[in-house]
Amino acid sequence: MRTLTGSFHAYIVPAITSVGSAVPARTVTNKDLEAALATTDDWIRQRTGIERRHLASTEDKTGALAANAAQAALNASRLTAEELDAIIVATSTPDDAIVPTACQVQAALGASRAFAFDLAAACSGFVYACAMAGQWIKSGQVQHALVIGSETFSRLVNWSDRQTAILFGDGAGAVVLSAVPSSRDDWYCHLGADGSGKDLLFAPRGSYLQMKGREVFKFGVRVVTEELERLAAQSGLRLEEIDLFVLHQANQRIIEAVAQRLNLPPERLFSNIAHYGNTSAASIPIALAEAAQKGLLSPGSRVALVGFGAGLTWATCLLTYRPPGTE
């Protein structure tokens, strides 16, 4: 394909064309938690990097947060809702057992042409969903996909368990992935799972989240490091050629340990965990929305997304950022 500027574009790749996020209005600081738990602001900051988080009040729902984030991403694009071909919501905390959250979003936006479904892969869910949407775009079946991560994990947390209660927050983030012409076939994704690790982090139906924190920590550092080494080995790109790494925001020390192991400058690993905590499948799209807003993504920026979490599951996608007018 030859573009108006005359450059030759041999490939169609999935690219992030717009981003959006939505969080509950209520914020809870570490100091607020001190009043209810045997913990301190200092301990939480030092061990996790978290300072505060947004928590759902009774009116805040996973579906409404997802729809608000999706609407923000759609508003930032040049698309109408009818131009969307697919809506995927990654969530482990849907409002209802039946009726996918994605169908609530479809109705709220009026995206009448889109197929819509939810995907549950815990904190890796958003990157799993990007991988699926990306493959459909590569195959030509989908032109524009809305991919959302939305969670209200606070409803799974035992608020008297200091180990987990300090970690999680609620919210939603969304991206539009579109088929764009490219001179390079930069698309890369890789997914993984290890069900033998299911006891490290789980929530039985009707019960609280349970976690073996230290083991999950070690798993996170190991799997993200391996995923980025694999990306470098298989994508044909050196890690230095990737502009921004947006890892699942689970613990600032996990992000720092990965940067150290791979010898990456810390500023290339985006972090906003201080203000959101771990929002599970929503953490990466919320981070992407904030990175774009802060001007850390420019047209053509290469972004590596790496999710990891319960299951155990993990997932990596390499995407280019092409905001409206630069596709």
Catalytic residue numbers, as ranges: 123, 248, 278
Q: Work out how close the CB of 172 gets to ligand COA at its nearest, in angstroms, rounded to a whole number.
A: 17
Q: How far apart are CA 284 and CA 78, in angstroms?
A: 23
CA distances from 134 to 156, 188, 242, 275 (A): 30, 9, 18, 29
Q: Which of 166, 287, 296, 306 binds ligand COA (CB under 6 A)?
A: 166
Q: Which of 45, 78, 138, 162 binds ligand COA (CB under 6 A)?
A: 162
Q: Work out how close the CB of 38 gets to ligand COA at its nearest, in angstroms, rounded to a whole number.
A: 7
Q: How far apart are CA 55 and CA 69, in angstroms?
A: 16
Q: Which of 30, 48, 154, 301 binds ligand COA (CB under 6 A)?
A: 48
Q: Which of 278, 301, 313, 316 binds ligand COA (CB under 6 A)?
A: 278
Q: How far apart are CA 191 and CA 82, in angstroms?
A: 30
163 binds ligand COA (CB under 6 A): yes
251 binds ligand COA (CB under 6 A): yes
Of 73, 134, 78, which Cα lies nearest the Cα of 105? 73
Q: Are 124 and 317 in contact (CB under 8 A)?
A: no
Q: How far apart are CA 14 and CA 127, in angstroms?
A: 13
Closer to ligand COA by CB, 214 or 294: give it: 214
Closer to ligand COA by CB, 27 or 39: give it: 39
213 binds ligand COA (CB under 6 A): yes
| Closest-approach residue to ligand COA (CB) | 213
91 binds ligand COA (CB under 6 A): no
C-alpha 245 chain-centroid distance: 12
Q: How far apart are CA 233 and CA 90, in angstroms?
A: 28
Among the residue ranges 140-148, 210-218, 262-270, 292-300, the one whose residues contact ligand COA (CB under 6 A): 210-218
Instruction: State the burial class of residue 190 (Cβ atoms within 10 Å of its Cβ: 0-12, 13-18, 19+).
Output: middle
Residue ranges in contact with ligand COA by CB under 6 A: 39, 43, 47-48, 123, 162-163, 166, 201, 211, 213-214, 216-217, 220, 250-251, 278, 309
